[in-house]
Amino acid sequence: MKILVTGGAGFIGSHLTDALIKKGHQVTVWDNLNTGSKENLNPAADFKKIDLKNFPKTAELFWAGRFEAVFHLAAQTSVRKSVANPQEDARDNILASLNLIELCKKNWLDSGSKNKFIFSSTGGAIYGDTDKRPSDEELKENPLSPYGIGKLAIDKYLNYYRKFFNLNCVSLRYANVYGPRQNPHGEAGVVAIFINKMIKGKQPLINGDGKQTRDYVHVDDVVRANLLALEKNQAAGIFNVGTALETNVNQLFEKINKHFDNRFKKKHGPGLAGEQKTSCLLFKKIEKELDWRPKIVLDKGIEQTWEWFLKKAKHER
């Protein structure tokens, strides 16, 4: 298939691009490289540096590409930036996405259901803090940031396009994704942040008491969920992609510290204002409908990620 991956130079997008190419698909990557990196790009992919807010250019390239499927991962991913500038976040994550969906509708109008739009959404930022954990897809959404609101808005738009225009679309609501290639310098990605600091001999800082919990899902499992969403014709609607297991930051620190002979002590800093306390996703729906379940346990995934960062650090010396 001729497939477009937006954000394909980023952490998850580049792994997905590799997997699609390995399966023999013809892949085009669109990325503005604000957070993505050319180092992540698969040389077999056709790369276009473009900002999705450039609507005339995206329309031109979309018509020329004759894409049969779209994986939409490009986004402004900083919750803090979304809080500081909700308008800009909406332009990046709502208007740009809506423009891309419209291009799919116009190009695929007469194609029936053979084409597919697969959106990388979020679980934690949409469900918010809740006593019902692991959270399922029926839980009332309670996003507490413009970032979460934007992701939820696209989920709702896709439902509209599916019902009224027969757009074949899937929203995958991720838990906290981790693994090789994750950016260790952003606000999220605590696994990458801790490992990167420890490799450099720096003391990582735990925000607050470290009792805040997350559901950590490996990037390879996330990629597999995307591939199944493409390959299973009946796949439609919203699916959680998580492990249904909660791990707090103190526990995560201990798991990572084992790979450094427990050299580092827990050091706590002030908590982040407005930080979500809990997040954990149930995956029964995607297991039932797409035959997906997580395969990589956290300890093994951390080991694999540590090995990748260690190799990268040695190469940079």
Cα distance between residue 208 and residue 274, in whole Å: 12
Nearest alpha carbon to residue 118 among 232, 40, 32, 285: 232
* Residue 295 φ then ψ, to 5°: -110, -30
Number of DSSP helices (H) and strands (E) in the chain, helices first: 12, 13
Q: Which two tokens stand for residue 111?
A: 């194609």
Residue 7 region, left (φ>0) first, then alpha (ψ -120 to 50), else beta? left
Task: Spell out the residues 6+ positions from residue 199 whose beta carbon is closer than 8 angstroms to its own.
Answer: 309, 310, 313
Nearest alpha carbon to residue 136 among 147, 126, 151, 146: 126
- Known active-site residue 147: yes
Nearest alpha carbon to residue 128 among 117, 142, 115, 107: 142
For 53-107, the DSSP string reads T-HHHHHHHHHHHT-SEEEE------HHHHHH-HHHHHIIIIIHHHHHHHHHHHH
Q: Are 4 and 63 in contact (CB under 8 A)?
A: no
Q: Which of 127, 147, 178, 216 is catalytic?
A: 147
List residues with catalytic annotation. Answer: 147
